[in-house]
Structure 1
Amino acid sequence: MNDQPDLNVKKAHGQKAARLYRMMMEDHICPYGVKSKYLLESNGFTVEDIHLTTREETDSFKQAHDVKTTPQTFIGGVRIGGYDDLRAHFGKPVPKKDETSYRPVLAVFAVALGLALSLSLWSFGTPLTIRAGEWFIAFSMAMLAMLKLQDVETFSSMFLGYDMLARKWVPYAYLYPYLEALAAILMAGRILPWLSIPVALTIGTIGAVSVFYAVYIQKREIKCACVGSSSNVPLGFVSLSENLAMVGMAVWMIIRMVTV
């Protein structure tokens, strides 16, 4: 293995060149190595792609260059570093640990809206219907519940940080995502309204009051449990909107039952 940095790598035939060291074993291909190669090539670099094919070879490379991870990229004799370092080198955003991100929430709402509009178009010939609005809320509730159900233990710990009922009765912190999922499934099909309405109305009201008190009265800055433990969303508008949407859906179904 040639483990020397590319001191002699310069522009060849008018192209920029780089040397990339990455793990490429029979039972493991480093995904960040693949990404690094693509990133270099997409930025106009000719890549000298050097594979580290054994664990011993990889460890030897890391020891020789005093690095803890692979892949490693060298440009013009200078070590750029791993994949995140390479992204930074090209001026691309690099996710920071514990950085606030609304991407999971936006993804949930966008997919729920798309499903609702698509189903409405198929059912009624137009995407803009009252039923589409109902489906949007129900699908959003279902997907948010699913995210919570991925790790109920972690969700319950986060939820206990601000929910009033959960603090007085801990089992509620474990039941909440199941209740939200149940209400969402029933509301999507307008099934058993005598069950879905009180469930959504109860957990939505308690949740809205708890969030409003924690954020706007106590002025606390804590992490929201609305999308489970997979993201870093501050408690506030998103969680309040989730709970108010459940309350609104329950009230709408009551009105519909009375007027129809």
Structure 2
Amino acid sequence: MPKDEIRDADLYRMVMPKHLCPWGLKTKDLLEREGYEVHDHPLRSKEQTEAFQREHGVRTTPQTFIGGNRIGGYEDVRRHFGKSVRDPEATSYRPVIAIFAVAFLMALALSWLVLGTLLSWRVIEWFIAFGMVLLGLQKLQDVESFQTMFLNYDLLAQRHVRYGYVYPFAETGAGLLMLAGVLTWLAAPVALVIGTIGAVSVFKAVYVDKRELKCACVGGGSNVPLGFVSLTENLAMIAMGLWMLAKFLF
């Protein structure tokens, strides 16, 4: 097919006063990026939508038709164009990588602002502290879900259930105190204790018991696998706790 030949697609999507279907917008954008001229057919009421679904024997919208053939919804259109479709059950380290990347960039920015350089040992300290705060923030969004997932592997939480509720506040608080450089006598031991318990728990669950679990490190409901990254996070907290404690004492 010549590249300059116009290709047509018919898109049926909900466009109502109180509901604009986001998947319909995503489908329209995808079709246009693939070089299709989209004939948009907005479904402007619940009755119109239900009538369309009955007529075509479908349960959801949006629905896309190309060359008179029904392709389906947004994910079906992605498959039609040979694009990947996210598996909601698949595990991924992406959330943790994103948090650590942002924490590192924040540490660099703070180093440049305060010290006028990007090359400083303080960058490592600030990176770990920012990481603790950001990870704690993820947990604090839904403490109940975090605590439920945390109980799957944390040894102290399994013995003292309430510890799972305390952990997000302890992690976030210790990180903030380390960033501020105050109450080191409190922040360092907290990081050391929760990091040690976490490291032992992860090591036992993953490398001793050989269990395949999801990590609560970015909050409950995440698909981050429990493993090396989770262990590294806890080891970093241990290192930070020891370093800050040594600086405070000596």
**TM-score tier after normalising by the smaller chain length:** over 0.9
Q: Match of 1:220? A: 211
Q: Match of 1:193? A: 184
Partner Cα distance (1:197, 1:70) in 2: 53
1:97 Cα offset (Å): 2.4
1:137-184 superposed Cα distances (whole Å, 9 cap, x missing partner): 011111111111111111111111111111111111111111101111
Give the gaps of 5 or more residues in structure 1. 1-10
Query: Taking structure 1 as the reference length, what is the TM-score of the superposition?
Result: 0.92
Q: Match of 1:162? A: 153
Partner Cα distance (2:119, 2:24) in 1: 45
Question: Is it true that 1:120 corresponds to 2:140 in the alignment?
Answer: no
Q: 2:30 aligns with which of 27, 39, 44?
A: 39
Secondary structure, aligned partner of 1:24: strand
Partner Cα distance (1:81, 1:123) in 2: 54
1:258 Cα offset (Å): 3.8
Residue type at the aligned position of 2:37: T
Secondary structure, aligned partner of 2:19: coil
Question: Is it true that 1:82 corresponds to 2:100 in the alignment?
Answer: no
Q: Match of 2:230? A: 239
1:128 Cα offset (Å): 2.0
Q: Match of 1:209? A: 200
Partner Cα distance (2:195, 2:21) in 1: 44
Secondary structure, aligned partner of 2:244: helix
Residue type at the aligned position of 2:74: Y
1:204 Cα offset (Å): 0.5
Structure 1 residues 227-236 or 211-220, which shifts more? 227-236
Q: Match of 1:27? A: 18
Query: What's the C-alpha RMSD, in Å, of the aligned pairs?
Result: 1.5
Q: Match of 1:171? A: 162
Partner Cα distance (2:221, 2:86) in 1: 14
Partner Cα distance (1:101, 1:248) in 2: 26
Q: 1:63 aligns with which of 41, 54, 58?
A: 54
Residue type at the aligned position of 2:62: P
1:257 Cα offset (Å): 2.5
Alignment of 1:48-59 (within 5 A): 48-59=39-50
Partner Cα distance (2:113, 2:178) in 1: 19
Q: Match of 2:137? A: 146
Residue type at the aligned position of 2:94: R
Q: Match of 2:122? A: 131
Partner Cα distance (1:231, 1:101) in 2: 9
Give the gaps of 5 or more residues in structure 2. none
1:93 Cα offset (Å): 1.2
Secondary structure, aligned partner of 1:251: helix
Q: What percent of counterpart residues are identical?
A: 57
1:255 Cα offset (Å): 2.4
1:185-221 superposed Cα distances (whole Å, 9 cap, x missing partner): 1011111001101111111101101110111111111
1:230 Cα offset (Å): 4.1
Residue type at the aligned position of 1:179: A
Residue type at the aligned position of 1:92: K
Partner Cα distance (2:10, 2:108) in 1: 48
Conserved 8 A contact 2:15-2:43? yes
1:106 Cα offset (Å): 0.9
Conserved 8 A contact 2:11-2:28? yes
Residue type at the aligned position of 1:54: S
